[in-house]
Structure 1
């Protein structure tokens, strides 16, 4: 090597990769899940959960870390998301995948990058609450993101290499300051965490959208493992599992730390509406105005980098599905649409995301579980449409009720676990039995 320093290669483990390779893969998974937009969720959870922050955070970790890692393993086992969703029905696969890309793209995730960045710089700008300033910021933000999305070259790579490490250092400083500052008072849990804190934390974890992203990009992780010379399916699964543990530990440390920041800020700002507001206030409290400027700048770069990647990724997918429309046109359309959505503000985007993700996550979880057990499920092929479609129908009905008539009672509220937002599990279990019976009848007729 150029500097004359040689590193002895780690011994290969039982799963065909060295410890160093597994650590690198774990870092890759961490970087996939480590988005600036996700960082605004745990502080608000910690602030609102109060004395019940521990069970609420535990539920959040299961949905925000456990499900995505299992999702990547499920995709690795069956091939890719098309093969996974295609077991239900080809039309369902097309619609579901499109909805997933739109959700982790222009519907939610892309607009959230702009609003998160603006929430961080708003306290530093005179008249920051002005709609005109917010709109002007969004226009400039998405214009730059669109420009970079069409030129994924040196500038984008520099942004990515700088923003992620800087964001990690920033989080460590903010969390460390909050820990050393201690807790002056721990308030009682507030809605929605004053009832079933763990299940509400689990539902809050939907807003990371990482399970949806994992189903789409899990094939990339599996391909990376195979490029290291590991081709045996069991070893590929083992490598991803170990790497998932590495990434999960890192993400858990980040999420727990940020939840503590929110808990520590509860006495000072009990009426905070979003996590970006909490992080900005914490940075100002511990580091002053100069620190707040640095925090805002780092978040701005990180959000811009994430936004650029999402626009490029979504445009690439839809240009493949509909090649008559070129990639730049898709990218421009997504940038303009996302800019328009961002004008409603971060609080409105987060409120809108709950029912949409409530509709998408249950069928995604059902497919993930069946993908992990695809060997058994494939023996009863009718299980796939029965379980996933019934789960999807149930979650859509509940999501529509939550969006338009949240106080209305529907028959699905009588299901076990419905009060925790998990009534669809009962429907999935019944559908699984129906799918087995249906498959058995077809086999006998054949």
Structure 2
């Protein structure tokens, strides 16, 4: 008899997925975009949702289509190339950048305001405590649904819901005129800003982890597993959209209380203080702590799961190792790591997007192996141009490339390569691809 999950378990998996995606960056970024968008709020917000919610959801669905794992996604690539891609993605999104940042942001926004003379000692103690808690929850993959999906995430969502209701009932100011590029190209600007959240990487990582969690509940049928994975993605997407819409409106109505604010964190803090008074910092701390903690748990667990499949070290040993590394890096600070990591993200993110696109069209490709090699190579080549521009290389001679000024010079060449490879190959290989 085919085993199935209860509705409560499906909802818990969806909430867990939502919490994995919703880090501090996702919370503090939309207010800044909303403030700049002003009276062009709706087109800017829809553009943002297209990439900040749409791409991660598409990424989760791609993992499901590919059978729930990295091997399925990269089956048409040389094994060494596929492994190298995965290792780079997991290192950058995991211990080298995103995971340590959760601890540092949690300290700066949620804890430091309560410490009169905050310094290196307080940061060190908090880093140790924060990642010890993250390691504790990540230790057992089978209990992730219970610990995150059934307890931590509902608490996070409840606090966010209180904030969202208050924002819509008691806006703290009038919506002002759109600023900068939001005045003339609001949808496009929002679209590009949402793309920069980099959550497509997270979708590929978390997709594999969620499959393991589903299987730990006794689901062995591949089709059923992938169906539940898609459900989880849809629930997470709905939650992210709810948060982004409320935070966009918060930003758009914040000009009176956040005048001169230069980042989303300041806007959010000022708004919450205006809404709730002294208790506002407690609410903000609860949101940031829970968001950062659940994301740290997901990142450590996903990285440990993958690295344990490549080495002789067990999952539990990788949890400890990565937790310690994250605590050390967060304690040292991330300014230098950010300068090193962002160019790598610029180089790899387009490749991840191209990989997702290929997964959806693979059955119609006459020669999948050739298509994967050509399309991913083209996306990497042009994304390296974008990365080079970011680190200060003089590439002005290439500004004739479409979207070069936006850091998206890879888009049209990659799309063209995908179209061309659709018509390269023999009928025999086409039938083989369809059968696969």
Q: Is the 8 A contact 1:363 1:391 kept in 2?
A: yes
Cα offset for 1:77? 1.8
Moved more, 326-335 or 84-93: 326-335
Q: How do 1:85-234 residues align onto structure 2 when only pairs under 5 Å count? A: 85-118=74-107, 119-128=109-118, 130=119, 133-146=122-135, 149-150=138-139, 157-158=146-147, 161-182=150-171, 184-190=173-179, 193=182, 196-219=185-208, 224=214
Q: What CA distance in whole angstroms lies between the structure 2 residues aligned with 1:360 and 1:320?
A: 22
Q: Is the 8 A contact 1:222 1:236 kept in 2?
A: yes
Cα offset for 1:395? 0.9
Q: Deviations over 1:212-260 (max 9, x none)?
A: 2222343565684998989696x98777666644543332121110111
Q: What CA distance in whole angstroms lies between the structure 2 residues aligned with 1:21 and 1:133?
A: 38
Q: Deviations over 1:120-165 (max 9, x none)?
A: 333333245x455444433442344345544779899556643312
Other-structure match for 1:365 = 353
* 1:385 and 2:376 correspond: no
Gaps of 5+ in 1: 1-15
Alignment CA distance shift 1:183-1:148 (3 Å): closer
Equivalences, count: 424
Q: What CA distance in whole angstroms lies between the structure 1 residues aligned with 2:425 and 2:237?
A: 37
Other-structure match for 1:252 = 241
Q: What CA distance in whole angstroms lies between the structure 1 residues aligned with 2:400 and 2:274?
A: 47
Cα offset for 1:301? 4.1
Q: How do 1:397-436 residues align onto structure 2 when only pairs under 5 Å count? A: 397-405=385-393, 408-433=394-419, 435-436=421-422
Q: Deviations over 1:301-358 (max 9, x none)?
A: 44234323422331232132122x5556544443344334435768887777654433
The root-mean-square deviation of aligned C-alpha atoms, in Å, is 4.0
Alignment CA distance shift 1:346-1:52 (3 Å): farther
Gaps of 5+ in 2: 430-436
Q: Deviations over 1:256-307 (max 9, x none)?
A: 1011112222332244344333333322222222342244145324423432
Other-structure match for 1:3 = none
Alignment CA distance shift 1:398-1:38 (3 Å): same
Q: Is the 8 A contact 1:342 1:349 kept in 2?
A: no
Cα offset for 1:426? 1.5
Cα offset for 1:398? 0.8
Q: What CA distance in whole angstroms lies between the structure 2 residues aligned with 1:34 and 1:229?
A: 26
Alignment CA distance shift 1:368-1:88 (3 Å): same
Alignment CA distance shift 1:187-1:121 (3 Å): farther
Cα offset for 1:432? 2.9
Other-structure match for 2:64 = 76
Alignment CA distance shift 1:351-1:44 (3 Å): farther
Q: State the TM-score, normalizing by the size of structure 1.
A: 0.79
Cα offset for 1:190? 4.5
Q: Is the 8 A contact 1:366 1:388 kept in 2?
A: yes
* 1:293 and 2:244 correspond: no
Cα offset for 1:93? 0.8
Q: How do 1:228-377 residues align onto structure 2 when only pairs under 5 Å count? A: 244-323=233-312, 325=313, 327=315, 330-343=318-331, 355-377=343-365
1:56 to 39, 44, 68: 44
